[in-house]
Structure 1
Amino acid sequence: MSDGKQFTLYSHKSGPNGWKVAAFLEELGLSYETIFLDFQKGEQKAPEHTKFNPNGRIPTLIDHKNGDFVIWESNAILTYLAETYDKEGKFSFSSGLEKYQQLQWLFFQASGQGPYFGQGFWFKLFHSEKIPSAVERYQNEAKRVISVLEGVLSKSEWLVGDKYTIADLSFITWHVGAVNALLENYDISKEAPHVDAWAKKIQARPAVAKVFAEKAAAAK
C-alpha cells in the first residue's frame, strides 16, 4: 500500500478528470496518494503506467484495500467509489429510476462535455496551427452543453433527485476551466444563471474547495 494510503491516484496537474476523482475521494474521507504524470515526458504512455491503464490516459485509480483493484475512466471511477464506499447513498443513487438518471448524466459528461470542452482547449491553446473555425465550433458546443444543464437546473437544484451527487461532481472541473479559459465574452451569470449558481454551490463544498486549491497550487 502506498505510504499507508488506501488509494493511489495517477493524475495530471492541470487535467480536469483526475481532480474530480480527488474531490470525490475527499468527499468520502478516503486516504489517497496522487502521482502526477508528466505528459511532456510521455509518462502516461510509459509501461509503468500502461500496465495499469492500457489507454495511457489519466485518471487511473488503484484500491489497495480491495486487492489492488485498478480502474480507469473518471466516471467509471466515480461509480465504483460510490457503489463501494457510499453505501448510505450520501452522494449517489444506487436504486430506483434515479440510478439510471445518474448514469445518464455521467454518460453525457463523458460523451458531451468532456470531448467538446477538451477539443476546445486543444484548438485554442495547444494546436500548432491556429484554426479559428475549430475554436469557434467547440466554443459553441461548450455553450450548448451549458444550455442543456441550464434547462434542467432552472427547474431543479441538482441534476438528479433532490441532492448533490456524483452526477453534479462529474461536470465541475471541466466547467470551471471552460468558464475561465475557453469561453470568451461569455457572462455565465447572465447566459446560464442557474448553472452558475449550481457550480458555485459545488465549488463552495469543503472537499471540492480543498481540491481546487490544491490544483491551483500544483499549477504554479
Structure 2
Amino acid sequence: MNFRSIRPSRHAKTLAGIALVSALAACSTSHDANAPTAENLAAPLDAYLAQRGDICLAMVDWPIDLTEAEAGAGARHAIQFPVMEQLGLVHSTIVAVPKSSENPDGAVKRFELTDAGRKFYKPHASAAKGAEQQQPVNDFCVAHLKREQIVDVKVDASNAQHPMAVVSYTYQIDTAPWMQDANAQRVFPMVARIANGAGGKLQLRQGFTRGDKGWVAQTGPV
C-alpha cells in the first residue's frame, strides 16, 4: 500500500489536532511535584544551602584557651590559631590559671577574636547545641556554598510513605578573602579542598526525605 496516496480528510485533521491538545494538557496536569527529580529537588536544596550552606570551623565559644598540653601535642587549635593571629583574626594573651598536669606552669594562652575576626563569627544553624534548641548559635564561618547544578539523584523507596533521595550536585563557593593565604589553606585543608573543587571539579551530596509538605533536607551525613 502506498501511504503517500492516503490523505486524511479535513475532519480527521481536526480530530487529530484535538487529540494532540488533549494529550499535551494531560501531560502538563499530571506533573508530580513530589517526584524525586532534579527539577523538584532544586528548590529544597537551594533553601537548605541558604540556611545551612556555611562552612564553619566549630569554634563556637570564645575566648578559647590553649593549654600547654594541647600546644605540646599539636592539637588543631595549636596549629590553626598562630596562623589566624598572623592574619589578624585573633589575638592572644597569657592568662594565669591554677596549676595542673596540663598546665604545670599555671598559665594558658587565651585567644580572642579581633574586630576583623568577628566579621566571620555569625549565627550558624548546624552549630545549635542540643536537639531541643531551635535557635542557631554563633560559629566562626569561612565560606558559603550555593548550588551550581544537580548531576544525580538516587532514590530509596523502601519506605513508600516517606521515600528518601540523595542529591549529588556541583557548587559555587564564596570564601573569606584570607582563605587565599597559603598558610590558611595549609591549616584548614578541608576548607581549601572544598574551595578548590567548586565549579564542577567536586560534587557534594545532600540527603532528603519526602514529608507531608514535600522534600525536607536531612541534617546528618549521607
Q: Same fold (TM over 0.5)?
A: no
Q: Tell me the TM-score normalized by structure 2.
A: 0.22
Structure in which a larger fraction of residues adopt helix = 1
TM-score (structure 1 length as normaliser):
0.22
Q: Which has the larger radius of gyration?
A: 2
Q: Which has the higher strand share?
A: 2
